[in-house]
Every structure is written in C-alpha cells, then in structure tokens.
A = this chain, B = another copy of it.
Amino acid sequence: MDYVYGPGRNHLFVPGPVNIPEPVLRAMNRNNEDYRSPAVPAMTKILLEDVKKIFKTTTGTTFMIPTTGTGAWESALTNTLSPGDRIVSFLIGQFSLLWIDQQQRLNFKVDVVESEWGQGANLDILASKLAEDTAHTIKAICIVHNETATGVTNNLAQVRRILDEYRHPALFLVDGVSSICALDFRMDEWGVDVALTGSQKALSLPTGIGIVCASPKALEASKTAKSVRVFFDWNDYLKFYKLGTYWPYTPSIQLLYGLRTALDLIFEEGLDNVIARHSRLGKATRLAVEAWGLKNCTQSEEWFSDTVTAVLVPPYIDSTEIVRRAWKRYNLSLGLGLNKIAGKVFRIGHLGNLNELQLLGCLAGVEMVLRDVGYPVKLGSGVAAASAYFQNNTPLIPSRI
C-alpha cells in the first residue's frame, strides 16, 4: 500500500513526468526479453524511423539513449563540440541555467545571454554576436525551445533566420524536452542540428529514454568533436545500426514497447492535432489565470507556452504553500517555483496525454487552493473562462464521430 494513499486519481499537473495513457501502461506490462533476438532489433529499426516524425525531420538520425533529459543534453554537446569551443547559450530560467552549467562543466566557453526570468531568449544579442563573429569562432547556439521553469517558448524559426542572415555556420542545438510532441517543432525546416527530448515529457512515457536527433551536419561534426564521451557516444550506436543489432548496451524492453504504443497513439490522433490540443490547453489555462486576476510569469504573449504556465502569486502568498496544500488536500500535483522564482510562482503543466476535463478539474482545484491560502479568487471564474474557450474550440473525438 502506498503510504501517502489518497482516494481517487492523483491529478498530475507538474510539467513532467506526465500522465501515461492506459494503452502505454498496458504495453509496458511485460517481462524482459532477449534484446539480441531478431524481434527487438526489428522493432528498434522501425522506432528509429518513426521517432523522426515527432521531430519533423526526414534527414536526421535518431538515438534512443537509456538516460534522462540531462543525459540527452550531454550527448548533444559532447558529440558535436570540443573542449574550449565557444558557444552562445541563453539563460532564461532554471532549466536553461542547468544546461549552461553543464556546458561550462564540459569545458565549453559559453557566452551566456541572460534575460529576465519570464522573458524569452534575447535574439537581438544573438544577432549582434553573430554579426561580430566573422571569424566563426562561435561553434554552436544552444537554446531551450520551451523553458519549463517559467513557461516561456522561444522563437526557433527566428533563430534560424538570424543564423541565415549572417550565413553563420554555428550548430543549432535545441533542448526540446518540454516542447517536442506538444509544440510545433520543425527540425528540417528550421535547420536544427541537434534536438532532444525525454520520454517522460510530451511523449507521456516513464522516464528513461533520452531521444536525440542529429542533422547530417551534426553527424559530420561528431567525427571531429574531441569531447570525451563513451556512454553517450553516437558512434557506438552508429556501429550497431550498421550491424543491424542496434544496441551498444541493453535497452529497456518495456520502454521500447511503451514508445511503440505512445507513437501509435500520437499518430492516430495526428501530430498536428496533438499540437492543436496543447494549444487549446495552454490558451484555456491562460484565460483562467487572467480570470483569477493573477499574472502569468511569461511577460509577453509572443513567449506564451502551451505546455506549462507559471503563475505569479501576490507577494503575501508563498507559492510553495499552494503546491503543498494542493497535494495534501486535493491530491493535485502542481509544479514548484524554482530557484529565483521559488515561492513566487507555481506551475501548471499541461502537456502530454491530457484532455480538457482533466485540465478543468485541475483549474477548479487551483481555485480552491488559492482560497485556502488566502487569495480571494472567485470560485468558478477560471473554470468558466477556460470552459467557454473549450466549448467553442474542442473538436469531436475523431474515432467517435
């Protein structure tokens, strides 16, 4: 028995790990298998092709590494760069900060471009840096597509435009951990060189696969990249791809079958419908926040995130208490504020396998918690705003028409 058991479902609204669909749980409910039998490589081969679709790439090469998003970061960096390489990286929240910390510890020379938390990457500075860098000393641009700590989505198409404008050959490395499979992401169109995500985010699986996708240019870079790597070395994978056995070391059988089903569900719904659903969920959440009279941590509409909303609380309230109380009283799991916005925001994750009524239940819960902690929200106000939007914009479930 769980020692923190509460009746009914846990309402899981942290921005990861997210709710796993029942069909995926079923698919993973299995014994181990010999990963050297013909079955596992055959499945792996198809998976490696199919995961390309969530990156919107046909030219990329995919790696499904038994690791987390942090490991996927490391894989992206060490396979393409050499110690001392200069990179430009944007600090806009806790996760970009952690990535930059990793970049520095891996001995890259990082130009940190900092924004106020709640703002997106300062691309003007990027432009000026690239403009100055006629010698092409900048080897890579590292950017999170969606900063999970603040609910800020960066404009990747704009990054590409700037790179093109200055005809700069820097690699374009993207953390898509809280975006891919939820936000519009176009690897090939945007000329992204390495993109990565984690299985426990919008793919709605357990933690355990860091999915990395490398462009031909990134693969080429990996041939000369001098960063030390073994576990994360793409080359070990590529060797086994050629052999047709696919795995340099033991994969999780359960996660492979889970990924198979997760992709099947996404393809059945349609990736663009999945993205549209996230857009609905994000919009509805923001309408609720507005109705509550609270501020979104994200300072401008251009950066609004459809996967996570960080909500600023009035100064007299400790947002940590909101998260604590939500869990203790309503079995609702919300995201904490992190680092410099600890206590100041709470976060609603609205990504992954989630639908409108689940979100409305969460919003109703947040309203009660807000009152619990002394904020005079009008109960039902956020739900009303969100459901008005949903009622006008939610399509029938295609399989049920």
Contact = CB atoms under 8 A, between A and B. Distances in A.
A34 B5 contact: no
A19 interface: yes
A231 B227 CA distance: 14
A329 B396 CA distance: 4
A32 to B, nearest CB: 4
Given A25-B31, A357-B364, A16 B383 contact: no
Interface in A39-72: 39, 42, 66-71
Contact of A268 (B1, B83, B368): B1
A391 B6 CA distance: 17
Nearest to A325: B396
Interface in A345-401: 353-358, 360-362, 364-365, 367-368, 371-372, 378-381, 383-385, 387-388, 390-391, 394-397, 399-401
A118 interface: no
A372 B391 contact: yes
Interface string A1-29: 11111111111101011111111011111
Contacts of A388: 379
11 contacts: A14-B36, A17-B253, A22-B30, A25-B31, A70-B230, A328-B400, A357-B361, A360-B365, A361-B364, A367-B387, A380-B387
A355 B8 contact: yes
A340 interface: no
A264 B1 contact: yes
Nearest to A370: B391
Q: Closest 4 A-B residue pairs measured CB to CB?
A: A380-B384, A361-B361, A8-B355, A17-B32
A241 interface: no
A362 B357 contact: yes
A252 B360 contact: no
A6 B399 contact: yes
Interface of A: 1-12, 14, 16-23, 25-39, 42, 66-71, 73-74, 83, 102, 105-107, 198, 200, 206-208, 227-228, 230-233, 248-255, 261, 264-265, 268-269, 274, 277, 327-333, 335-336, 353-358, 360-362, 364-365, 367-368, 371-372, 378-381, 383-385, 387-388, 390-391, 394-397, 399-401
A383 B288 CA distance: 14
A200 B66 CA distance: 13
Most chain B Cβ neighbours within 10 Å, of A22, A277, A356? A356
Contacts of A6: 355, 397, 399-400
Contacts of A38: 4, 327, 400
Contacts of A16: 250
B23 A31 contact: no
Nearest to A367: B387
Contacts of A253: 17, 206-207
A106 B372 CA distance: 54
A23 B39 contact: no
A191 to B, nearest CB: 27
A26 B269 CA distance: 22
Given A12-B34, A25-B31, A71-B66, A7 B357 contact: no
A20 B29 CA distance: 11
Most chain B Cβ neighbours within 10 Å, of A36, A42, A254, A328? A254
